[in-house]
Amino acid sequence: MSDDHSYELCRDLQKKNSHITLLSYGKKYGSAAKNFFRLIRDVNLKKFEYISLADQDDIWMSDKLSYAISEIVRRNVEAFSSDIIVFFSNGKETLIKKSHPQKKFDYFFESAGPGCTYVFKSEALQKFKNSLIVNGNKFRSITLHDWIIYAYFRTHNMIWHIDSKPLIKYRSHNSNHIGPNVGISALMKRYRLIKSGWYINQVQKITKISSIKNKTSFKLEKIFLLKNFLQLRRSSRDAFILLLLILLSIFKV
């Protein structure tokens, strides 16, 4: 629900542009993930060639869509995301790199980056939508839509490119569910989530959902994770941190 008259502004824009469609308004879904699941489920994706996710409070670079689509075509991939620039209320800006080389199992442990950088071929996202419709109950407990979408694409052998060109200025504020991994406070927030069991719980659910009707060699077992820890996160630093957490049994499996 919005209290800044954005709905009225969108309604005025719709009157001037037939390409804009407003969905029914007023229901609270309770989380960003549920909001995006609802949008993906209810929008007629087949009307479009490409689909991009957007958050209202981020700033797009002027060439965000044109560059993303050109790279999807040039690389012949199904999905695109990119690095981001995080900006804070004090004016500080920081580059966040998400484009480390993709690993064999990274999608079970992290997203491809913030969903606001995601651009898809329409027919590829339609496959995810079909699974969302059929397995809707299983998606309700997923906290991060960008993570499960990335995992679904990767487990279904759809090629995903993560670009090093930052195309979004990502607004950091207290209401970010996870937020950018910048500074000690962000590190401690992630540690608390891991210690509480939230992280392993999401890994378990995402593994099950994304692997429906699709076999994978991945095993959520301690020995398997220890042997393959370098394949669990794209950043080597993050892979070694996860290894340490597994060894200390903070990340319990």
Q: For the chain, list the domains and their CATH numbers.
A: 31-247 (3.90.550)
Hey, what are 143's tokens? 């906290």
Strand ranges, E, within 17-110: 50-52, 59-60, 79-82, 84-87, 93-96
Q: Summarize the confidence of residues 24-37 as an average pLDDT.
A: 75
* Residue 156 burial class via C-beta count within 10 angstroms: exposed 0-12, middle 13-18, buried 19 and up: middle
Share of the chain above pLDDT 90, in %: 60
Hey, what are 75's tokens? 């690389």
> Side chain identity at 208, as an amino acid letter?
K
Residue 234 to residue 164: CA distance in whole angstroms: 13
Q: Summarize the confidence of residues 102-117 as an average pLDDT.
A: 96
Residue 85 to residue 119: CA distance in whole angstroms: 17
Position 2 scores a pLDDT of 58
Residue 239 to residue 109: CA distance in whole angstroms: 10
Least confident span in 104-113, 144-153, 191-200, 240-249 = 191-200
Task: With 0.75 as the threshold, say if the pTM is over it.
Answer: yes
Strand order of the β-sheet with 79-82 is: 50-52, 119-121, 79-82, 160-163
Backbone angles phi, psi at 190, to 5 degrees: -65, -40
Residue 35 pLDDT level (bands cut at 50, 70, 90): confident
Identify the CA nearest to 109 among candidates 231, 3, 22: 231
Residue 69 to residue 16: CA distance in whole angstroms: 26
Size (the chain), residues: 253
Q: Summarize the confidence of residues 118-130 as an average pLDDT.
A: 97
Cβ neighbours of residue 5 closer than 8 Å, sequence gap 6 or more: none
Is pLDDT above 70 for 76? Answer: yes
Identify the CA nearest to 66 among candidates 194, 150, 147, 167: 167
Position 170 scores a pLDDT of 92
Position 179 scores a pLDDT of 52
Residue 211 pLDDT level (bands cut at 50, 70, 90): confident
